[in-house]
């Protein structure tokens, strides 16, 4: 499988690292507007710098990771999709519904696989919790409460915290509940930028309610989820990939087969491209996550 990468900032660099580790996967090259950065990453992972996106297309990779700023997704991704080159575009799929739909249409017209990089969907702890919910171990699922926070970072400049960070947990709660929210409520605020820095979102799934907290003001990263059901409560840590189950006076830990979520995600992408399978997080899933996030933005604006 011949793959390329467009954009080798923080996330794109990790794509390069993981692709270089996947068996039967050849990283043919990377494109980035910062030539020095491109050369640095190419040297680190045994590949080459490709001068332009057009040149990358001419080299006909089987698949490409798109890790450019969200505002550029609509500009870059369809160039490959229309040529039948499958793409994994980092989340969120796009900044607007119109742009997301254009990307999805390009994939359809080009007959290419489109996947959106909602990485937590591939976190082994999340996958294990999904199994537990489906097996009825929590009983009836009533509440999902997530917290995603960390120190302020100037790296993401084109979208606020709801579209940038909260979309992770929007996707996870949709996945765990298995249906779309009936209603979306939100509040958010701005402190250091023109976009929101902290937010609280409430998703009404009917019997299940999900609360999603996101902020940029904690001294260290917090990535947690608490699932409360009629028979048990589960505490999940995304970073540690740990699960603790509390039922009555009993506490127990659940074995999780820990793996790097990005590697699980990219291996799934490569498999979908090679076998022409629908990805777990396809364009429609990415679009639905974006719709919920943008609805939260509208609700929070009063």
Residue pLDDT, tens place only, 12-65: 999 999 999 999 899 999 999 999 999 999 999 999 999 999 999 999 999 999
CB 42 within 8 A of CB 48: yes
- The string of pLDDT tens digits covering residues 80-138 is 999 999 999 999 999 999 999 999 999 999 999 999 999 999 999 999 999 999 999 99
> Would 2-119+263-282 and 120-259+291-300 be classified into the same CATH topology?
no
* CA–CA separation, 268 and 79 (whole Å): 23
CA distances from 117 to 141, 263, 270 (A): 27, 12, 13
Task: Report the mean per-residue pLDDT for the chain.
Answer: 95
Q: How confident is the model at residue 156 (pLDDT cuts 50, 70, 90)?
A: low
List the domain boundaries for the chain: 2-119+263-282, 120-259+291-300
The CATH architecture one would assign to domain 120-259+291-300 is 2-Layer Sandwich (3.30)
Question: Which CATH code is given to the segment(s) 2-119+263-282?
Answer: 3.40.50.720
Read off the pLDDT of residues 255-278 as tens digits, 9 standing for 90 and up: 999 999 999 999 999 999 999 999
Global pTM reads: 0.94
206 or 248, which is more confident: 206
């Amino acid at each position: 499988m011949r793959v390329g990468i467009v954009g080798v900032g923080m996330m794109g660099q990790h794509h390069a690292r993981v692709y270089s580790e996947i068996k039967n996967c050849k990283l043919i090259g990377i494109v980035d507007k910062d030539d020095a950065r491109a050369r640095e990453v190419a040297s680190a992972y045994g590949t080459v710098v490709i001068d332009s996106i057009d040149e990358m297309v001419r080299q006909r990779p089987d698949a490409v990771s798109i890790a450019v700023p969200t505002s550029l997704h609509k500009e870059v991704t369809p160039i490959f999709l229309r040529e039948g080159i499958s793409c994994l575009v980092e989340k969120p799929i796009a900044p607007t519904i119109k742009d997301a739909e254009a990307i999805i249409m390009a994939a359809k017209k080009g007959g290419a696989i489109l996947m959106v990089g909602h990485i937590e969907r591939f976190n082994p702890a999340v996958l294990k919790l999904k199994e537990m919910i489906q097996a009825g171990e929590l009983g009836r699922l009533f509440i999902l409460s997530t917290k995603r926070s960390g120190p302020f970072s100037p790296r993401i400049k084109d979208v606020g915290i709801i579209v940038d960070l909260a979309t992770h947990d929007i996707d996870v709660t949709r996945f765990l509940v298995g249906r779309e929210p009936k209603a979306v409520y939100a509040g958010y605020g701005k402190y250091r930028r023109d976009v929101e820095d902290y937010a609280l979102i409430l998703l009404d799934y009917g019997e299940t309610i999900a609360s999603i907290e996101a902020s940029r003001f904690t001294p260290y990263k917090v990535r947690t989820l608490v699932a409360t059901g009629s028979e048990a409560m589960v505490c999940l840590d995304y970073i540690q990939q740990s699960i603790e189950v509390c039922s009555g006076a009993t506490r127990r830990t659940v074995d999780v087969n820990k793996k790097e979520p990005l590697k699980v995600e990219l291996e799934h992408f490569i498999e979908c491209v090679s076998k022409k399978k629908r990805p777990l997080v396809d364009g429609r899933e990415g679009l639905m996550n974006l719709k919920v996030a943008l609805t939260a933005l509208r609700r929070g604006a009063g």
